[in-house]
Amino acid sequence: MGGHIDEATAGIAMIEAGGNAIDALVAAAFVGFVVEPASCGIGGYGRLAVRLGRDGRFVTFDHYVRAPGAARPDMFELDRERPMKYYGFPYTVGLRAEEGPLAPAVPGAVAGLCDAHAMFGRLKLAQVLEPAIAAAEAGIPVDWGLRLTILDRIATIRRLPATAQWLLRDGLPPSSSDRLDGTDLARTLRRIAAEGKRGFYEGPVAEAIERTVVGAGGILTAKDLAGYRTRILEERPGRYRDVSYITAYDQVTYEALNILDNFDLKRFGRDSLAFRHLVAEALACGFADSMTHYGDPDFEKSPVEGLASAAFGRARAAGLSLERTLPRPVRAADPWPYDSAAERPKRISDERAIARLEGTSQMAAADREGNVCALCTSLTSGFGSLMYVPGAGVMLNNSMQNFDPRPDQLNRIKPGKMPIFGVPAMVASRDGRPLFAGCGSGGYRITTGVMHAFLHAVDFGLGAQAAVDAPRVHCQGQQTAVDPRIPREVREGLARLGHTVVVEGESPRANPYGRVNAIVIDKDGVMRSGSGPAWSTGAAAC
């Protein structure tokens, strides 16, 4: 299952060919890189969570972007005329971190998926990539979503000749009967199928990326690409009720669930004011604390494990009230007293471990062996930086904007560093059996969408589609976005408690609660999948 029907079809084909859930997810992801070029691609990144059926281990493949070697904390001038981003930090002058040649960071998508497949896949990589290569050779269909994204960014596209040549027809978006040329992308995919990740990070593709970016005034080089490494972690699972889970090292979701674990949400009921209030407060705390304290632990002194600590969640929960909200904007608490090196996940070497072991789109997969996996994959913005690489078919991310451009912040830019990525890819088990996989797209609203699906499945016993469809609230510490399907009396109750309620509904032009895919597996091993919202291209299959 994934963000497009062709992704689900590719995943099913791998299972039918004798592959496992990891084969299915990797096949689906690479097809997504073709058919959802505005949302994800081989020039992007992601996080992949895996729960292994044979031994119940949880492994995360953190293949987020890294800053190029020539990056500096002060490389961008701050735009003080614009309001702060909803990510919590300022825009840059000329949108240089958001679009154009300085916006791409070192992409991790190919490395992360190839590493996961090398460790846990069963089929040959060439077979797993066959559906993506075929899709690229057939050309990329232009649907209404693709046209809308092109229209949203058409002024910048017109300023970039290679991008305009690929995306526009006589200066305008292509028609719905047209197809984008996938010839160059198919050639790159065939190189990856034959050579693995080196087919992307070394040789002609890496050289073409450097030539395009540096030639336009950017700093991403072939040396940066050759030096990319996936962060592979054997995570210590969190605990919610009687469920073990990981979030692919997303501290926001760990904290929010650690807070909510202290309240009997089932007793309150899923349509209650208390449930909506507590979820909004837990999300607000999680975002406020991570935005203040999170920094890549390989580069910064940051209480990353404290943010995910159950004890910190209990302390935060003790400060919540059912009668009123926390003061807005929500202030960060201090997770340092709860930080412990003993809680850090085990690092798995990405070089020695690549030999087979025994054993913002989204894809999730599960198989009869008990393997479950979930992936969030993205370019950051629609078509990323809009830097298209001719000859390679690569559209590069614009993820330098995910760093804080202020040099005094923990999320500041440093060469080789990963920025904050506050969204989960979740997998969970109960009593040693797989239970849940959830992932999404839509920026920080992914957290809201995936966590709501998880809560509705675990606390309220809903099936996968009903859990995905359930109305949601979202809060990052100030306003509280509320689905209009939530009854008026509950919305009015939230306002009385102190929430600044903003009613936001789903539409093709607005995605306030994330696009979500989820798999729920019952105690008899029966799998059910769900996808939503209804207007999206997401697809579910069993």
Q: Are 168 and 161 in contact (CB under 8 A)?
A: no
Q: Is 527 left (phi over 0), alpha (psi -120 to 50) or beta?
A: beta
CA distance 133 to 146: 20
Tokens of 371: 């393997």
CA distance 62 to 109: 9
CA distance 200 to 517: 28
For 58, how many CA atoms within 13 A lie in the half-sphere containing its CB?
24
CA distance 351 to 115: 9
173 preceded by a cis bond (ω within 30 of 0): no
Beta-bridged to residue 482, according to DSSP, are 473, 503
Residue at token pair 């607000």? 284
CA distance 39 to 23: 21
Residue at token pair 């099936």? 463
CA distance 49 to 364: 9
Q: Are 216 and 390 in contact (CB under 8 A)?
A: no
Q: Which candidate in 212, 253, 360, 448 is catalytic? A: 360
Give the CA distances from residue 515 to residues 51, 142, 475, 518, in Å, rounded to whole numbers and listed in that order.
22, 20, 17, 10
CA distance 4 to 71: 35
Beta-bridged to residue 430, according to DSSP, are 243, 433
> What torsion, rounded to 10 degrees, do the Cα atoms 218, 223, 224, 225 define?
110
Residue 399 has φ and ψ, to the nearest 5°, of -90, 0
Q: Are 516 and 362 in contact (CB under 8 A)?
A: yes
Tokens of 245: 């889970």
329 preceded by a cis bond (ω within 30 of 0): yes
Is 247 one of the catalytic residues?
A: no
Q: Active-site positions?
A: 360
